[in-house]
Amino acid sequence: MTSVTIVTGGGRGIGAATARRLAADGHDLVIGYRTDHAAAESVAADVRAAGRRAVTVAADTCDPEQVRRIFDAADRLGPLTGLVNNAGVTSPIGPFTDLRAEDLREVVDVNLVGYVLCAQQAARRMTAGGAIVNVSSAAATLGSPGEYIHYAAAKAATDTLTVGLAKELAPRGIRVNAVAPGIIRTDIHARSGVPDRPDTAAGRIPLGRAGEPDEVAGAIAHLLGPDASYTTGAVLRVAGGL
């Protein structure tokens, strides 16, 4: 049977690596993104070069109508079998007392509301079973003091969403798991105001270096795939020991 998988935030970073990896594993893909059309098209071209089908959809995952467009695109490829809830944002690193309300709202909207909206659409469509992987963060258990506690709290909500959904959807053959990356080399750190964070943080990571997007993509591919057929409700830490 064809695997049809949606990767939100599939144009860059962890999502892009995941889309490429899943194409190699035989998935047809819907690649969601918000603004960077060229990046998403470049990933889609790589998926097609690997012999799989790919469509890109510009859609803000915080908006239910736009989310529906991503899933409508998947319907045109075939029955949906997988969702990687990955589109996420941080906000400028700094003390809790400096947090701006608009940054708080965006972080909660994208990292939590967006994940819920996408998981809901997936659960409605996966009538023959399927798998969802939520991209959480090691921040969920570390708390990120002095950096972005609100982001850590939103990611902790992702973990709870994973546990609850796994139980609710198990009778329908839908597995729900999460990965919790540590510090991974992507553009997300520039948005936090510390583009060199993967290098400056290396000394406090037990494995002595930041992770690469491909190393997270491998964990996501495992949780989506048949080797994880008895795994649901798990949060797999991919954080170099953090």
Residues interacting with ligand NAP, by CB under 6 A?
8-9, 11-15, 32-36, 39, 60-62, 86-89, 110, 114, 135, 137, 181, 183-184, 186-188
Question: Which helix (H) or strand (E) element contains residue 125?
Answer: helix 114-125
What does the DSSP assignment read for 18-65? HHHHHHHTTEEEEEEESS-HHHHHHHHHHHHHTT--EEEEE--TTSHH
**Number of helical H runs and strand E runs in the chain:** 10, 7
What's the min distance (Å) between Cβ of 171 and ligand NAP?
28
Nearer to ligand NAP, 87 or 228 (CB): 87
- The active-site residue, picked from 33, 115, 148, 151, is 151
Least distance (Å) from ligand NAP to the CB of residue 151?
Answer: 7
CB 188 within 8 A of CB 90: yes
Nearest distance in Å: CB 214, ligand NAP: 12
Active site residue 230: no
Q: How far is the CB of 52 from ligand NAP (least distance, A)?
A: 19
Task: Give the separation between CA 223 and CA 232, rounded to whole angstroms.
Answer: 9
User: Measured from the CB atom, is 77 or 151 closer to ligand NAP?
Assistant: 151
- The encoded tokens of residue 144 equal 């990120």
* Closer by beta carbon to ligand NAP, 46 or else 79: 46
Q: How far apart are the first and last CA of the chain?
A: 38
Between 77 and 183, CB nearer to ligand NAP: 183
Residue positions annotated with a catalytic role: 151
